[in-house]
């Protein structure tokens, strides 16, 4: 069976539940023993290098939000287990699609390059409780991150087979071809837009894997917003608005 973004959308609840279950199993691998010292031999500060897959969704003009894929990479410097500064980079695709036959531009596919500078602060900065298992340790290291960066867009637009082009509906002077069902050009390709980011996530240590404390998993949810609505390369009569896309990722991070 061919796996497509539409197929994944149908099963996104199942996929999300499976990922959450897997992370919880990792958290509970060690028993809740009050004598366990989770800070013995821990690598508490230094550089972290990570990478892994992500799933993207675009929220702009369109009525449906197909899932697509991205590769996510991070370089961070941790000053302690609960505060870090770093750089996040991504390469992937965000897709918008009109399933209501409202717009002449039925689909946009944006191959994007993205980076941001960010700071992450964890629960442990404000609540110094002692964790007794991996779940409590991951809870203490749950973080909120804020960042700023730029996204470079390369958008391909596909025209509807049924909706005719009308200047009053889609005043997009950048379109190079207005034929139904065709792949149509867009001069907004390769445009760079500023992006503000919000991250929510945690770190799950993997002790014993390539060392005492060398590897950790990082499930992360990233909310990205730009003050310009053209992440999908699609113009409407309303010039103002916001462009939003989200990235849910799971990266493997190495501590140095």
For the chain, which domains are there?
5-255 (2.40.160.20)
Query: What's residue 247's pLDDT?
Result: 96
Tokens, residue 151: 């996204």
Q: What are phi and psi of 163, to 5 degrees?
A: -95, 125
Tokens, residue 167: 């200047």
Query: Dihedral through CA 89, CA 244, CA 18, CA 71, nearest 10?
Result: -20
Give the count of beta carbons closer than 10 Å to the beta carbon of residue 207.
16
95 or 44: whose pLDDT is higher?
Answer: 95
Strand residue runs (E) in 123-175: 143-159
DSSP code, position 168? T
Residue whose structure tokens are 């900065």: 125
Query: What's residue 137's pLDDT?
Result: 83
What is the tens place of the pLDDT at every residue in 192-241?
A: 889 999 999 999 888 777 767 789 999 999 999 987 766 877 655 555 56
What is the tens place of the pLDDT at every residue in 165-203?
A: 665 555 454 554 555 444 555 444 557 889 999 999 999
2 or 232: whose pLDDT is higher?
Answer: 232
Query: What's residue 108's pLDDT?
Result: 83
Helix (H) or strand (E) holding 9: helix 5-10
Instruction: Give 75's strand partners.
Output: 49, 87
DSSP code, position 211? S
Q: Is the pLDDT of residue 63 over 80?
A: no
Query: What's residue 239's pLDDT?
Result: 53
């Amino acid at each position: 069976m061919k796996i497509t973004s539409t197929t994944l959308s149908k099963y996104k609840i199942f996929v999300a539940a499976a990922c959450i279950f897997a992370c919880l199993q990792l958290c509970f691998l060690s028993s809740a023993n009050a004598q366990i010292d989770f800070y013995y031999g821990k690598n508490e500060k230094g550089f972290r290098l990570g990478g892994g897959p992500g799933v993207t969704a675009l929220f702009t003009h369109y009525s449906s939000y197909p899932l697509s894929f991205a590769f996510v990479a991070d370089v961070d410097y941790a000053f302690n287990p609960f505060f870090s500064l770093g750089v996040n980079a991504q390469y992937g695709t965000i897709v918008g699609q009109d399933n209501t036959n409202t717009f002449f531009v039925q689909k946009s596919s944006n191959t994007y390059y993205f980076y941001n500078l960010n700071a992450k602060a964890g629960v442990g900065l404000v609540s110094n409780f002692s964790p007794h298992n991996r779940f409590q340790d991951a809870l203490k290291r749950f973080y909120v991150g804020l960042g700023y960066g730029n996204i470079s867009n390369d958008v391909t637009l596909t025209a509807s087979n049924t909706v005719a082009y009308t200047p009053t509906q889609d005043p997009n002077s950048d379109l190079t071809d207005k034929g139904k069902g065709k792949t149509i050009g867009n001069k907004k390709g390769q445009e760079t837009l500023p992006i503000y980011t919000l991250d929510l996530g945690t770190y799950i240590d993997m002790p014993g894997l390539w060392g005492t404390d060398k590897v950790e998993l990082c499930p992360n949810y990233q909310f990205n917003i730009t003050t310009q609505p053209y992440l999908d390369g699609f113009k409407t009569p309303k010039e103002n608005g916001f462009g939003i896309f989200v990235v849910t990722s799971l990266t493997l991070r190495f501590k140095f």
